[in-house]
Each structure stands twice: as structure tokens, then as C-alpha cells.
Amino acid sequence: MKRIIVIIGGFLLFVPLTLVGAAWATPPATAGAAGPATTRADTVTQWNLTMIAGLEAAAVPPPPAARVGAIVQASVFDAVNGIDRRYAYYHVPPAAPHGASREAAAASAAYTALVALIPAQKPLFDAQLAATLAQISDDPSDPGPSVQHGLAWGQAVANDILAWRAGDGFTTPPPPYIMGSAPGDWQPTPPAFLGPPQAPLFRQFATMTPFALTAPSQFLPPGPPSLTSARYAQDLAEVQALGSATSTVRTAEQTQTAIFWQDDTPAAMWNRVADQLAQASDLSLAQNARLLALMNIALADATIAVWNAKNTYNFWRPVTAIRATSDPAWTPLLPRPPSRNTPPHTPE
């Protein structure tokens, strides 16, 4: 399973470039308002929608959201697979009690992980757990041995994975950041010039323990071109022309595409895509759990790999370069995130 995830993780680094013509979409406001493609959601996909709703309600930033998604969906997969025993397990060996409910295990694993990772949204998760129990048992107050065994197993799986990931480096403060002043060195970007203080955010992801990669730098991409190269001059001129807030050459579709990719977190976007694919393909509960685990682990490792590259090259963003070399008043269409540019994780 981990080998497959590595391949998918590499794909996810480039997949936004293949979907620049995607239709405009408005993110759903609640877990139950994700559109026609999710009207037949099973327990696994419904809890995935609940995870998206919790992430958005708590305004979890993109890198931590990717980590949450991987932990939650890995927990759900190992919980369901620990009963089905159809696939190789990810982290927790199958040991579910005989006759345990798969739906209860999936719900309990998701609930346990989500409450631990996004505690402020516990009322949302409590409500979804009550709804799930009402769906899978005649009497939610006394659901019977199968459901009770499933709930206990799912909780045990999630707690195991949470304990494992507690030491992954997410809460470890990064070393002091030394701000450079040479051309090409990253600088805080307008209009907010965010930094805690004067430092790019989420630097701990550069050295975080991956979910499937052998190391954060396993697929380190080449660095940016030389500042004196023709390629760099051409790329910067293109960004200056197309990326300006007042650009006269950018098309309406290009503007809409840029807004689309910054309108929500990658975790929310790609989980919605996965949920819709799952429903369109009429996958089983175990297949849905595996799909969402693969996708979220890949996304988390892609995030770790990207931040490792950002930390390696510490490269300035185009807005800094353009203001320093040609137009001190240049402003991009959208505010730039407080992170290094290479490789970019949002449209410039």
C-alpha cells in the first residue's frame, strides 16, 4: 500500500496543472450540502464530508489540514480493513472482534481522530455520530454487540494512529529563521507581510515524518533557475504580465482558475473530488476507505515534500522579485501565502 501511495503522491504534485479548465465550484457550507454526487454517501464518505466541514468551520490552514486528512482517513481505513481484512493494513494490524460492524468502526475511527485533531468542532462530530448510530442501529441508546464492538475497534485504531503521529514533528518548533537579504532570498509578501515574525509559516513540515515517503526529500525537485538566466527572465515576465491585479492580458478564464485554486484548501478540494468519484463508481465501503486513505496520505506527503523543497531553496516570490527589479508598485491578483516560492503550491 505504501508503495502505491508514493506514486500517487508524486502525481498529486502536478495534477492541478491538468485541471485548469475545471468548472467553477462553490464549497458546500455543511457536510450534507455537497451536491448531487454525494446523495448516496455511505458511512465512510459521509464522515469524509463531515471532516471537510470541520476543517472549514475551524479554518484549518492547508498544510495542517492535509495532515488531519491523512490521520483521519488512515484511521478509517485500518478500522474497516481490520474487519474486512481485504487489503494490507496501513499501520494497525487487523484485530477487530468477530462480528464487529464495519460502519460503526468507520464512524468511531473518524470521530475519535477528528475530536482529537479539531476539538473545537466536537459538537459537529457529536451530531454526525448520533446520525450514524441512528442509521445503523434500531436503538442508538442500545445498539447491540456488533455496533458496540465496531465502535470500540474504531476508537482503538484511531488512538493507535494518533499516538504514532504525535511524534511526527508537527508540534516541534523549527529552528530560528535567519532572514536573508540577497537577491532571491525569501521575504514576507504584501499586503499582510505575514510571518511569526519575519519567517515563513509551517517550516516544521519540511522535516516532518512522512506518511509513506522514505524521507521528506525523497523526491526533491530541481531548484529554481539562475536569476541571470534567460529562462528566469522569461518566467518572471510572464508572471508579471499575467499575474498582475490590473493585468490586461489575462483572460477571464485564467482569472477564474486562479481564484478557484485559492478558494479552498487542497484537502477540501481533493476530498470532494474523491467522494464524487467514489459515488460515481459505486465503490464498496472498504474500497471507499482505501481510496480516501490513499488520496489523503498522498496529499499529506506531497505537502511535506513541497515544504521540504521550499525550505531547501528559500526562494523569493515573484511579487518580491518584480518589486525589487522592475515595478515597486506591482501587486498580484491574489495575496500570496506566507511561504517560500519553490516549488509553488498555489497559482502565482
Taking the C-alpha atoms of residue 145 and residue 198, their distance in angstroms, rounded to an integer, is 56
Torsion of CA 142, 84, 91, 218, to 10 degrees: -140
Evaluate whether the domain defined by 2-172+266-304 bears CATH number 1.20.144: yes
pTM of the model: 0.86
Residue 332 DSSP class: B
Taking the C-alpha atoms of residue 80 and residue 224, their distance in angstroms, rounded to an integer, is 43
Whole-number pLDDT of residue 26? 31
Whole-number pLDDT of residue 30? 38
Residue 328 DSSP class: T
Taking the C-alpha atoms of residue 221 and residue 216, their distance in angstroms, rounded to an integer, is 11
Q: Decide: 212 and 301 in contact? Cβ < 8 Å.
A: yes
Residue 244 in 3-state DSSP?
strand
Tens-level pLDDT at each residue, the chain (348 residues): 433 333 333 333 333 222 222 222 333 333 433 333 334 579 999 999 999 999 999 999 999 999 999 999 999 999 999 999 999 999 999 999 999 999 999 999 999 999 999 999 999 999 999 999 999 998 878 889 999 999 999 999 999 999 999 999 999 999 999 989 999 999 888 876 765 557 888 999 999 999 999 999 999 999 999 999 999 999 999 999 999 999 999 999 999 999 998 888 999 999 999 999 998 998 999 999 999 999 999 999 999 999 999 999 999 999 999 999 999 999 999 987 788 877 765 555
Whole-number pLDDT of residue 336? 79
For the chain, the domains span 2-172+266-304
Query: 285, 304, 265, 286: which is closest to 52 by C-alpha?
Result: 265
Residue 195 DSSP class: -
